[in-house]
Structures are given as C-alpha cells and as structure tokens.
Structure 1
Amino acid sequence: MASTHSNHSKGLLLTAIGGMALTVDIPLIKLADGNHWSILLMRSGTTFLAAIVIWLVWRSFSRNAPQLIPGRAGLVVAGLYGLGSIAFITAVYNTSTANLVFILAFNTVFAAVLSWIFLRERPRPVTMLAMLAMVGGVLIIVGSSIGTGHLFGDLMAVSSAFCIASAITISRSSGKDMGFTALVGVLIPGVLAAYMVSKTGFRVEAPWWIIFNGAVIMPISFFCLANGPKYLSGPEVAMFYLLETVLAPIWVWIIFAEVPTRNSLIGGAILIATLVAHSAWQLSESRKRKASAAVQQAA
C-alpha cells in the first residue's frame, strides 16, 4: 500500500512539472516569429539533440538508463507523438491560442474512451457525464470557427489531442518507460519540416526563443508527461495537460494582447469547470478509498 501511494505521488509530481513547463510552449513559438515549417524544424531538431545528449550522459553514469524506443510499443508511441507535434504546430498557425489549448484539453475525453475500449478501464457514470459536457464545450468552440478561417486549425488541434491520448494509452498499457520515446518521436516532424524548408525557405526572426524551447522546455515537459502513465491512469495524466489550457492563453494575452472570442471563452469555461469539478470528485473518491483501506488494515 505504501509503495502504491509513493508511486502515485511520484506520478503526480512528474506530470505536474511536465504540465507546468508545457504552458510556455506556445508563447515561445510565437516569440520566435517564423513560418511554421522553420519553427517545427528548429523545435524538433533542438529537442532531439537535447534528448540524445541527456541520454548519452545518463548512459555513461548508469547502465539502467531507459531505452530510447522500448520495442514495438515504443515505435508506435514515438510515431504518435511525432504526428501530434505536426498537428500541434499547424494548429498554432491556423487558429487562436485559446481555441488550441481549450481543444487540447479534450485529450482527457479521448484518453478515457481509449482506456475504456483497450484497457477495460470503464469510466464511472460521473466521468461519462463530464465527458459529455466537454464534448459540448469543444463543439461550441469549433462551431464558432466555421466560416472564420479557423476551422482547419481547430481540427488540427483535435487531431493533436487524439494523438497525445493514444500515446498515453499505449504507454500505460505497455508499462514501459517512454520518457525518451516522446523526445525521439520529434525526429519524424523534424524530417518532414526539413524537406518543406528546402522547398519554401527558412525564416525565424528570433531563433533563441525556439532553441530554448526545444533544448530545455520540451525535454522537461515531454519526459515528465510521457513517464506519467507508469504511475497514473491515462485520464489522470491527460488532466495535467490542462495547466496549458488555463495558463497559455493568459501568457499570450499578456505578451501579445490576443483576446479570446466570446464562444471560445464560453466553451473553454465549460471545459475547465467540468474538469475542475471532476478532478475534485476524483480526489474525494481517492481519499475515501484510502480511508477505507486503512480501516480494513487496522481490523
């Protein structure tokens, strides 16, 4: 029991650090001020190089360093994170920051559904009601984008959320350490971006922002969040992506004065309120289970 509680606490700490680091990703991308293929190339390249350097240093001190790609499951997870990165960067340049991060919060619903289908972790009725409310919130956001030119970007955000949720589910199912797998997966969008840059040209006005993002922020956030499923359920890990949902629009509003639309705020408010209420319910249930287990042990 003590070991299980310790692992859960470790998972919460890891995913909290990763989620918090992720909140500055979009602001740093915007500060770099470049076309999206150039940004994707620099972000992917610096993240991959940082991951390899960290792994080699770790490996030189300990033979217990995690594998870069642990088996077939690792290949699939790397591919999903890579596709998710492509969809994410495309969404950054084709919809508002608020729309993007609110829709990315939908990965909690995808994670719950995928865990239900493939891991037989059936959500409770309260969770299913929360999922329905979140679907309504996302439909409000996406619906408001029809005819505004943001619909493609919103759909890319949905695709990115699905890829992340799928990667989380497979990581949890395998039980393997996927910390470096998520980082190595950026090689896929990096190769595609290199090809596109060769055709369209390279333009990044302030490269130091994206270098910092790729070399520091992405390794921290990807490693921590990709390791979360070892200790937490898929929906729990997905919840920590919500830190970006809450904070990224605030950073962008402060730095760029990018104000969300009314429908985006309404849909986002539904998503955040639902997730806060559901998280509070989960915490209450967890405390009840621990108290019950303690009583049974004492007896």
Structure 2
Amino acid sequence: MNDHKKGLVLTAIGGLALSFDVPLVKLGQGELWSVIALRSIFTLVAALLLWAVLRAVRKRPPVLVPGRAGVLAGFCYGLSTMTFLGAVFNTATANVVFIAAFTPMFAALLGWLVLKEVPSVSTVVTMAVMVAGVALIISGGLEVGGLLGDLLAALTSALLAGAITIARKTRRDMGFVPLVATILPAVIGLALVANDGFHVAAPGWIIFDGAVMIPLAFWCLATGPRYLSGPEVGMFYLLETILAPIWVWMIFTEVPTTQTLVGGVTLLLALVAHSVWQMRRRSPLLAKA
C-alpha cells in the first residue's frame, strides 16, 4: 500500500470513529459533568498506555506535551472537550457538528491574524458563506431554546482553531496533546461530581467512547497529514459532520430543524467546494482533469 492510500485509510477510519462520539455520549444517558469526567479519565488512561507502549518499542518515543506551546494548546483542547460536550447537552446534534465544522475557517482567520498568512480569495469567500450558514443554524437555536448549545459549539470551533494555530506556529509534534489534555476536564469533572458521585445510566458506552473511539479517531486523524494534504484530511473530518446526525436520527429519532438542515448543507457545500479547489490547485493531475 502506497503512502497516499495509507493516508486515505487512516483518515477515513479516524473520521468514521469520530462520527460515533455524540451517539455514544447520548447512549450513556448521564449528567453532563459525570459524562465529561468519565469520558476524559478513560481517554487520558488510554493515551498514557499507548505512550508507554511506544516508549517501550521505540528509541525515541513521542513527546507527550512539547513545552509551553504544548501546554497552551492542551489548555485549548481541554476547554474544547468541556464546551463540546456542553453543546451536545444543550442543543441538537446536527447543530453541534455543523457549527463545529467551522473550525478550519476559524483556523484560517487566526492564521491571518497571528501568523500573518493572508487567506486566498477562495478562503475569504468560503468563510463568508459559512458565516451565513452558522448564523442560520443559530437562528434556529433561538427558536428551539438551544442558543447556549449553539454558542458552546461555536466556542469549541474557536478553541480547536486556536490549538491548531499554536501547533502550526511552533511546528512541534502535538499528536498526543489532545488526548493528554483531557486531564483538565477530568480533574474539573471529578471535582464537580465528588459530592454526589457519578450519574450515568449506561457508563459502558461512555467508557468505550473515551477509551477506544476517541483515541482511535484522534490518532488516525493526527497521523493522516503525514501522507495527505491538509484539504484532503479536512474532507475526512466532514464524516462526523455528515454521519453523526444520521446515527442520532436512526437511534434517537432526533430530527434537525429546517434552519439547521439548510445552514448545514450550506456549510458542507462551502467546505467541500473549498477543499476540492485547494486539492486541484496542489495536484497537477487533478488540475488537468
């Protein structure tokens, strides 16, 4: 298998695994901070076990947290875990994943402001279209009472974009940072449930999500850029955006509002068009097709 096919397989597995995150959280039927603590603890344990294995088999194991930049990026990732799950508990699944899909555009904006990388005209146009799509989704949240969840989803996108920008600025290997950063929500969650204990009706789903699916998803998606271009990897992140609402609809019959569907389709079309355009620009073979 050549490197490109290897990258396609890895990122496809990662995107598919990530798409089950929200359904598994909902299947757990737990209280917010109990879910945050339980999921984060098992993700952290899985990450440390994986790192220990790599340390035993490699001469140079990956660094868990590369310096102060790693700590800062980890803080962003840790907060994003809490805001993401807070969004899941306070608005519809489709709203969460559609708004979270705005992350690459937030990253482009921060790259412009922080790294002085002037975005292309196509990126600016895509950002404008996606802002309109997010605004439409949030307007639907105003009607159904999910505004808090929509805003938390938008904050999640901004935090993830911040972590991505830090990684790009420092050029450090931060593959383990998103996983190790779960120590922050784990500690905060444990502190908040210390008096009353965990309230999760089906903890097995949360444990499976934290110990298996989240580490698998992040590892595959973090490894993909070694073999694929950024736009190609970004396309596979859209698997969660597309599939998560379908899984939730199939399991919980949660039907998105009209505003969410229209806004979500707007976001998806804008992202797909932008990614395809970027791939055509970077690949001479595609450009000639």
Q: TM-score, normalised by structure 1?
A: 0.88
Segments of structure 2 that go 5 or more residues without pairing to the other structure are none
Q: Does residue 1:138 correspond to 2:134, yes or no?
A: yes
Q: 3-state SS of the aligned residue for 1:123? A: coil
Residues matched between the structures, number: 287
- Report the alpha carbon displacement of residue 20 of structure 1 after superposing the two structures with TM: 2.1
- Report the alpha carbon displacement of residue 120 of structure 1 after superposing the two structures with TM: 3.1
- Which moves more between the two structures, 271-280 or 255-264? 271-280
CA distance in 2, matches of 1:37, 1:76: 23
Counterparts of 1:241-260 in structure 2, within 5 Å, are 241-260=237-256
- Which moves more between the two structures, 151-160 or 197-206? 197-206
Q: 3-state SS of the aligned residue for 1:179? A: coil
In the alignment, which residue of structure 2 is the partner of 1:84?
80
In the alignment, which residue of structure 1 is the partner of 2:37?
41
Segments of structure 1 that go 5 or more residues without pairing to the other structure are 293-299
Could you tell me which of 48, 54, 57 is aligned with 2:50? Answer: 54
- Which moves more between the two structures, 174-183 or 67-76? 174-183
Could you tell me which of 67, 73, 79 is aligned with 1:71? Answer: 67
CA distance in 1, matches of 2:5, 2:109: 24
- Which moves more between the two structures, 55-64 or 180-189? 55-64
- Report the alpha carbon displacement of residue 67 of structure 1 after superposing the two structures with TM: 0.7
Q: 3-state SS of the aligned residue for 2:172? A: coil
- Report the alpha carbon displacement of residue 72 of structure 1 after superposing the two structures with TM: 0.9
In the alignment, which residue of structure 1 is the partner of 2:98?
102
CA distance in 1, matches of 2:34, 2:243: 25
- Once the two structures are superposed, what CA deviation does each residue of 1:1-24 show, in whole Å capped at 9, x if it has no partner? xxxx95x77666544432221100
CA distance in 2, matches of 1:61, 1:226: 20
- Report the alpha carbon displacement of residue 236 of structure 1 after superposing the two structures with TM: 6.1
Q: CA 1:261 to 1:153, structure 2 compared with 1: closer, same or farther past 3 Å?
A: same
Q: Contact 2:86–2:149 at 8 Å: present in 1 too? A: yes
- Report the alpha carbon displacement of residue 239 of structure 1 after superposing the two structures with TM: 4.6
Q: CA 1:290 to 1:258, structure 2 compared with 1: closer, same or farther past 3 Å?
A: closer
CA distance in 2, matches of 1:170, 1:223: 19
CA distance in 2, matches of 1:210, 1:165: 26
CA distance in 1, matches of 2:235, 2:246: 18
Q: CA 1:229 to 1:78, structure 2 compared with 1: closer, same or farther past 3 Å?
A: farther
- Report the alpha carbon displacement of residue 270 of structure 1 after superposing the two structures with TM: 0.5
Q: Does residue 1:113 correspond to 2:109, yes or no?
A: yes
Q: Contact 1:11–1:228 at 8 Å: present in 2 too? A: yes
Q: 3-state SS of the aligned residue for 2:122? A: helix
Q: 1:207 is aligned with what amino acid?
A: P
CA distance in 2, matches of 1:119, 1:272: 26
In the alignment, which residue of structure 1 is the partner of 2:157?
161
Q: 1:274 is aligned with what amino acid?
A: A
CA distance in 2, matches of 1:22, 1:189: 19
Q: CA 1:290 to 1:139, structure 2 compared with 1: closer, same or farther past 3 Å?
A: closer
- Report the alpha carbon displacement of residue 278 of structure 1 after superposing the two structures with TM: 1.5
Q: 3-state SS of the aligned residue for 2:199? A: coil
Q: 3-state SS of the aligned residue for 1:242? A: helix
Q: 3-state SS of the aligned residue for 2:82? A: helix
- Once the two structures are superposed, what CA deviation does each residue of 1:136-179 show, in whole Å capped at 9, x if it has no partner? 00000001211532000000000111111111121122222211
Q: CA 1:232 to 1:189, structure 2 compared with 1: closer, same or farther past 3 Å?
A: farther
RMSD (Å) for aligned C-alpha atoms: 2.3
In the alignment, which residue of structure 2 is the partner of 1:209?
205
Q: 1:181 is aligned with what amino acid?
A: V
CA distance in 1, matches of 2:115, 2:224: 16
Q: Contact 1:165–1:238 at 8 Å: present in 2 too? A: no
Q: 3-state SS of the aligned residue for 1:260? A: coil
Q: Contact 1:33–1:205 at 8 Å: present in 2 too? A: yes
Could you tell me which of 8, 15, 21 is aligned with 1:19? Answer: 15
- Report the alpha carbon displacement of residue 70 of structure 1 after superposing the two structures with TM: 0.8
In the alignment, which residue of structure 2 is the partner of 1:186?
182
In the alignment, which residue of structure 2 is the partner of 1:296?
none
